[in-house]
Amino acid sequence: MAHLSKLILLLCMCDGGDGKAAPSEYTSPPWYPTPVAGWLDEWGEAYAKAAKLVSRMTLAEKTNITSGTGILMGRCVGNTGSVPRLSFPQLCLQDSALGVRYTDNVTAFPPGITVGATFNKQLMYARGAALGKEFRGKGINFHLGPSVGPLGRKLRGGRGWEGFGADPVLQGVGAAETIRGVQSQGVIATIKHLIGNEQEMYRQYNPLQPGYSANIDDRTLHELYLWPFADGIHAGVGAVMAAYNAVNGSACTQNSYLINRILKDELGFQGLIMSDWLAQISGVAAALAGLDMSMPGDASIPLIGEPWWASHLTEAALNDSVPMERLNDMTTRVVAAWYQMNQDKGFPEPNFSSWTKSAKGLLYPGALISPSGTANEFVNVQEDHADVARDIAMEAVTLLKNEDNLLPLDSITPLKIFGSGASKNPAGPNSCPDRGCNKGTLGMGWGSGTAEYPHMDDPISAIRERSSHVTSYLTDIFPLTAVAEKGDVALVFISADSGENYITVEGNAGDRNVAGLHAWHDGDALVKAAANKYEKVVVIVHTVGPILVEEWIDLPSVKSVLFAHLPGQEAGQSLAKVLFGDESPSGHLPYSIPKSEDDYPKSVGLVGFELGQAQDTYSEGLYIDYRYLNHKGIAPRYPFGHGLSYANFELGEATIVAGVSLSSAPPDAPPRKETAQSTYDKSRPPASEAYEPAGFAKIWRYIYSWLSRADADKARASTSRYPYPEGYSSVAKTAAPGGGGQGGNAALWDTAFNVSVTVSNSGSKAGKAVVQAYVQFPANTGFETAMIQLRDFAKTARLGAGQSERVTVTLSRRDVSVWDVRQQKWIVPAVGGEYRVWIGESAGRLKMVCSSASLSCRGGVTGPAG
C-alpha cells in the first residue's frame, strides 16, 4: 500500500512538468488558498445547516463524503461514502445529460444539440424539469449534466452534440434553463466539463502521456468558453465537473488558477467541483487546487481499492499536508449542496443498478467477492415526458431548403424512402452498448452521454401511418431495383455520428477523425443516386453536428433538406408532423454549415499525436463558427441560426429601451459576508478520529476513509510535510475584481437594453417564429470584437395566418461588455457609444437594426456580413 502511494505520488508529478510545454504566453499561475465558501445570501441557509452538521463529523467521516467508493462499488456510476451516524446518506451520481443512463423505464430525451436547435427557452426548462423528475424518481442525487464544454469549437469534436450549439449564449441559456428545471426537482445539476475539452482524442492523462493542454487566452476564455459556465453558476448550479485535459499546461482537476481563482473566487461558485471519472492525477495537489470530490474514487488505476483521497486524504489531514480549513470547506460544500436542494427532506434512495438488468445482482460488482441483493426495482419514472421529448424533437426540425414548396407533403403522393436511418436498428435500438454504433435511426451519439431507449418511434412507422403510398428501401446503397414514377417524392435519410473516445465506431475514436464532415455510409452517394433518378428529393439528416452538403445541395431535384438533428426516442411523429404539415418547422441551426472544412482555420481541426503533451492552442481566439466566417468574409452554405418555415414571418414595429445607466465597469461588489464556516475549529484532529472501527467487515477493493490505528498514529506524529506546489500560500487573497455574485459581479445581469418587436405571420400556414438578437459593438473601442454576436433569442407562440406577437429580447450589461484582461473585469468599452442590435432569422439574415445611441430601430436593412 505504502509502495503504491509512492508510485501514485510520482505519477502526480507529471502535471505540466514533462514533455512539451504550453507556449509561454499561456500560463496557469499558482493561486492559493481556495476561497472558503458560504458568503453568498442565496446559499446562506444551506451553509448554516451544513456547518452545523459538518462540525459534528469526525475526520474520517469528512473524508468519506468527498470521495467515491470506487468504480462499480455501488449502484450508480458514482457513489460517495456516507455518515450513517449523522444520517448523511451515500450520494448517487449518474449520467447522462439526456436521460437516466444504464436503466429502464426512463425517457431518452433529445440531446443538447437538438434542444439548442429549438431556440425555445420554455422547452429547455421543461426538459430540465422532466429530467429532474426522472433522476429523482430513480433516487439520484446528482444529475451529470448539462454539458457546455465542448462548446463546439471543433466541427469534428466527438461530444459537441451533448451541448446546445457553437455559441456561448445559446449554450449559456440552454444550460441555465436546464439547471433551473433539474434543480426545481431537488436534484443537483452538474455543469461539465470545465474546460477546453473540445476533442476526445488525447484528453486523458496516463502514466506515459499527459492529456492535451487547451491553451486559451484569458479574454477568449471569458468571452467564449467560460461564458456558459458563468450562466450555469448564476442559475445556482450545485456542482461542476472538471475536465480530463489540461488548460494552459495544468490539468483541470488540479489547476489552482482555474478552480480557486476563476471558478470559486471570480465566479463565486458555492457548490462543489468533482473530477471527471478517473481524471484526477494527484492527491494533495488536487485538494489544495480546490477540487472537492474525487470521482469515482479510485486513483489512476481503477479496481484495486487504491484511492487518491479517502484514507489518503485522512492521512494528509493528520500529517498537516492538507489544512483542515481546506478539508472542512470540501466537506461543507458537499453537504451545503445537499441542503440547498432540500435533499435532507425525504430524498429517495437509488432503486436501480447501473450494472445489471436483473432484479437481483451484485451490490458491488467491482469487489472480488460481493454480496448480492436487490438491484433493480424497475420504477417507471416516464410520466408524460415523451410529450416533452417529442415537442423538442419536432421544434428542432430545421428546414434548410424548400424549393417549389415541395414540403409539406400530402398523404396521397407516392413516397420512396431510402436509407437505413429511416427505420430502427433491426437488432434493437439498444443493441450496441452506450449506443456505440450507427445502425438504424440515429437518435443520439455514443458514450456516457446516452440513455437506453424505452422505445424508438422511427420515421418509417410514423410516415406509414400517414401515407399508404410508401415504398421503402432501407439500405444505404442505392438499390438497382428502385423504380421511379412520375410524381414520386424520394425521401433520403442520411446521418453523421460521433461520441466519446472509449468506443470506436467505424474507425472513429469519438471524434469524427475518419468520417470527417461527410455523411456516414456514403450518404452523399445515396443522395446523388436518388437525385439522379427522382425529380423531387427530400433529404433528412440525423446528425451530431455540421456536415458538408456541397456534393448535392444544388442538384435541381434536391428540393428540400431537413436537419432533424438527434431526435432521441421520439424520432418518428416529430418528423412526420413537420413533413406532412401538421406543424411548420421552427428549428434553427445551432452552428454554421460551411462549404468546406478548409473554410475554418487549422487550429480548430483535431490535434494529433505528439510526443509529450499534445498542445491544442486556441490561436483563432474569439473567432469560431460564424464569428470566424464573418471575420474572414467567408460565406457559409447555411449560416448559424438559419431555419425556414411554412409560415411567412415579418417583423413590424421595433423599439429599443435603455435599462440601467452604464458605466465603464460595473459597480464594485460589496465586501464578502462572513461564512458559517468561520465557526469551525481549524486545528488538526486527534488520530483517533481516523481509526478503523474494530470488527468492521470490509469489502475488498471498496474505498474507505479510515486508517489502521498504527497508520493514523504515525501520520499524526509525522513531521515530514508534503512538498507543496510552487506558489502555495495559506493566506486568503483579496477577492478577484471581476467577482461579487454567483457567476461574477451581480450587476453584469442588469438590463442594458430591451428590444421589442412585433412578429406577424403573413403566410397562410401557422408556425412559430424565432427572433434572434445579435450585438455589434461600436467601432474603435480599442477592443477588437466579432462582427456580430448572438446575445438573446425568443420564440413566439404558434401564430396562425394573420396573427402577430410582440416579443422582447434583452441585452445585459455583460452582453455589451468585453473582458478586460488588465483590469480583470467586464467593461463596457464605449459607454454612450453606438451599439447596434441586429434582429433577424439567422446570423446571415438580419432584417432590422436598433441603435443604442439614437434609441431607434429601422427595417429594410442588410446585416454587416451582407
Active site residues: 276
Place of cell 479510485: 298
Which grid coordinates belong to 296? Answer: 469515482
**Minimum CB–partner distance for residue 95 and ligand BGC (Å):** 5
| Residue 277 touches ligand BGC, criterion: CB under 6 A | yes
| Residue 591 touches ligand BGC, criterion: CB under 6 A | no
Round to whole Å and give the CA distance between 405 and 401: 9
Burial per residue of 847-859, b for 16 or more beta-carbon CB atoms within 10 angstroms, e otherwise: bbbbebeeeebee
| Residue 456 touches ligand BGC, criterion: CB under 6 A | no
Q: List, as one string, the DSSP characters of 468-514.
A: S-EEEE-SSSPPTT----TT-EEEEEEEE--B-TTS-BTTB-SS-TT
**Minimum CB–partner distance for residue 500 and ligand BGC (Å):** 6
Round to whole Å and give the CA distance between 333 and 187: 15
Among 167, 198, 276, 625, binds ligand BGC (CB under 6 A): 276
Round to whole Å and give the CA distance between 496 and 124: 24
Place of cell 408524460: 384
CB neighbours (10 Å) of residue 114? 33
Among 53, 117, 126, 144, binds ligand BGC (CB under 6 A): 144
Round to whole Å and give the CA distance between 445 and 566: 8
Name which of 33 and 350 has its Cβ closer to ligand BGC: 350
CB neighbours (10 Å) of residue 279? 27
**Minimum CB–partner distance for residue 473 and ligand BGC (Å):** 38
Name which of 77 and 267 has its Cβ closer to ligand BGC: 77
Which H or E run includes 710?
helix 709-717
Round to whole Å and give the CA distance between 767 and 650: 12
Q: ∠ CA(113), CA(150), CA(399), 5° rounding? A: 25
Binding mask 817-846 for ligand BGC (x = CB under 6 A): ------------------------------
Q: How many residues bind ligand BGC, per CB under 6 A?
A: 7
**Minimum CB–partner distance for residue 448 and ligand BGC (Å):** 4
**Best CA proximity match to 91, nearest among 71, 66, 72:** 66
Backbone angle region of 233, left / alpha / beta, with phi > 0 → left and psi within -120 to 50 → alpha: alpha
Which H or E run includes 247?
strand 246-247
Name which of 93 and 865 has its Cβ closer to ligand BGC: 93
What is the rounded end-to-end Cα distance, in angstroms, of the chain? 66
Round to whole Å and give the CA distance between 386 and 353: 23
Q: How far is CA 377 from the centre of its chain?
A: 30
**Minimum CB–partner distance for residue 163 and ligand BGC (Å):** 11
**Minimum CB–partner distance for residue 446 and ligand BGC (Å):** 12
Cβ-proximal residues to 822 (8 Å cutoff; 6+ apart), any chain: none
Angstrom CA distances, 776 to 621, 835, 850, stand at 18, 6, 10
Name which of 278 and 399 has its Cβ closer to ligand BGC: 278
**Minimum CB–partner distance for residue 161 and ligand BGC (Å):** 13
Name which of 147 and 756 has its Cβ closer to ligand BGC: 147
Q: Helix, strand or coil for residue 136?
A: helix
Which grid coordinates belong to 671? Answer: 465586501
Binding residues for ligand BGC restricted to 694-713, rule: CB under 6 A: none
Bridge pairing between strands 836-842 and 845-851: antiparallel
**Minimum CB–partner distance for residue 302 and ligand BGC (Å):** 12
Binding residues for ligand BGC restricted to 500-519, rule: CB under 6 A: none
| Residue 46 touches ligand BGC, criterion: CB under 6 A | no
Name which of 440 and 449 has its Cβ closer to ligand BGC: 449
Contact 659, 766 (CB under 8 A): no
Which H or E run includes 791?
strand 789-795
Binding mask 231-270 for ligand BGC (x = CB under 6 A): ----------------------------------------
Round to whole Å and give the CA distance between 511 and 164: 17
Q: Can you say whether the dihedral through the CA atoms of 541, 542, 547, 551 is positive or negative?
A: negative
Name which of 68 and 741 has its Cβ closer to ligand BGC: 68
Name which of 51 and 194 has its Cβ closer to ligand BGC: 194
Round to whole Å and give the CA distance between 139 and 379: 10
| Residue 77 touches ligand BGC, criterion: CB under 6 A | yes
**Best CA proximity match to 451, nearest among 61, 780, 104, 19:** 104
Name which of 95 and 689 has its Cβ closer to ligand BGC: 95
**Minimum CB–partner distance for residue 568 and ligand BGC (Å):** 18
| Residue 448 touches ligand BGC, criterion: CB under 6 A | yes
Name which of 502 and 722 has its Cβ closer to ligand BGC: 502
For residue 793, list its beta bridge partners: 772
Binding residues for ligand BGC restricted to 162-201, rule: CB under 6 A: 192
Binding residues for ligand BGC restricted to 399-418, rule: CB under 6 A: none
**Minimum CB–partner distance for residue 192 and ligand BGC (Å):** 6
**Minimum CB–partner distance for residue 281 and ligand BGC (Å):** 15
Among 12, 72, 91, 95, binds ligand BGC (CB under 6 A): 95
**Best CA proximity match to 5, nearest among 251, 288, 307, 298:** 307
Name which of 151 and 593 has its Cβ closer to ligand BGC: 151
Number of helical (H) and strand (E) elements in the chain, helices listed first: 18, 28
**Minimum CB–partner distance for residue 471 and ligand BGC (Å):** 42
Contact 217, 25 (CB under 8 A): yes
Name which of 504 and 851 has its Cβ closer to ligand BGC: 504
Interface residues toward ligand BGC, by CB under 6 A: 77, 95, 144, 192, 276-277, 448
